[in-house]
Amino acid sequence: MKTGEVVKHIRLSKKLKSKNVYHNILSRPAISRFENGTSDTTTEKFFKILDNLNISLEEFHFIYSNYRRNTSHIFLDEYLPAFYLQDVEKLKELKLIMKREYKKTSKINQLHYLALSELTINYLLNQQPSTDSLNILKNYLLECENWTYYELMLFTNSLDFFPNDLIILLYKRTKQKLKEYKLLNRFNNEVFSLITNILVVFIEKNDIQKSTFFYNELKNGLSESKSKVYDKIMLAFFEELIAIMSSKKYDNNKIDTIISIFTDLDMPLKKRQCVLLFETVKQNNMTKKLKI
């Protein structure tokens, strides 16, 4: 279907009249040609039409694609569980798919996902990271001047492979560049995810100073009225972990309560992440205490 035909399908399914959608945008003959697929319209007019249809560009594209997700969405849906479950075979499969797709299309995101897959495999197998793949991600993020949701997501998923100084540098740039997007919930969610993942990196390294800094960044970024329950649970969890790192003491009841919430919410991956991180913090600080 062509763009105008999809618009017509959406308009009719919402029981909207032509005047509700095209008023002061297209003439009656132009509407007919547009909805019959014999002519197109300008981008500016198209955005106005979408606004009158009460539909986002992302939703429109999904309908336009016959309710099918593109390769990028499929990759991310499959990559994250494979990473958390340490499923190296699945990651090798994704790597081959992205390599094949990139050869066909030359799309830059498929090259990035190919690099991400390879670096994740290296990471899980305790191998030296691929220099070429690392440079692909690092150079792109350093050279990109206008960050959008895509760059934020790419940075979040690359944290395990970057050195500390690069993480700090890119975070400062991210914070500056994304101020304009603060009103968009999707970006706020990804910013929370980014800071959470940076915090995990420094907690695993037992770096109290940087962990405290990013905990405060996370806390200061939460709005009392808009924060999700999940965000507040994670904040409480990180507070307990940093307390262990600082005082070598912890409240086991609090930790158990937080972890049990993920059991109740049927979030096994998140529960597993929290348990492993808790054990890492205990081990790091028991070792440190024995040396004193």
Domains and CATH numbers, the chain: 3-64 (1.10.260.40), 70-143 (no CATH), 145-292 (1.25.40.400)
Distance in angstroms (rounded) separating the CA atoms of residues 160 and 169? 15
101-149 pLDDT, tens digit each: 999 999 999 999 999 999 999 999 999 999 999 999 999 999 998 888 8
Give the residue ranges of DSSP H helices in the chain: 3-13, 18-22, 28-35, 43-53, 57-64, 71-84, 88-105, 108-124, 131-143, 149-158, 164-177, 185-204, 208-221, 229-247, 252-264, 268-291
Note the pLDDT of residue 116.
98
Question: Mean pLDDT throughout 11-22?
Answer: 96
Which residue in 261, 211, 263, 279 sits closest to 239, CA to CA? 211
- For residue 58, what pLDDT band results from cuts at 50, 70 and 90? confident
pLDDT (0 to 100) of residue 1: 79
CA proximity to 202, closest of 232, 176, 167: 167
Residue 69 — very low, low, confident or very high, per pLDDT cuts 50/70/90?
confident
pLDDT digits (tens, 9 = 90+) for 22-38: 999 999 999 999 999 99
Sorting pLDDT into bands at 50, 70 and 90, what band is 183?
A: low
Q: Considering the chain, what is the average pLDDT of its residues?
A: 89
Give the pLDDT of residue 185.
65
- DSSP of 201-264: HHHHTT-HHHHHHHHHHHHHH--TTT--HHHHHHHHHHHHHHHHHHHS---HHHHHHHHHHHHH
* Six-digit token string for 292: 């004193």
CA distance 82 to 120: 10
Q: What is the mean pLDDT of residues 77-82?
A: 92
The whole-number pLDDT of residue 287 equals 45
Q: Please compute the mean of the pLDDT values over residues 224-234 and round it to a whole number.
A: 73
Per-residue model confidence (pLDDT) at position 226: 53
Higher pLDDT pick, 182 / 170? 170
* 70: confidence class by pLDDT, cuts 50, 70, 90: confident
Give the lowest-confidence range in 90-94, 203-207, 255-259: 255-259
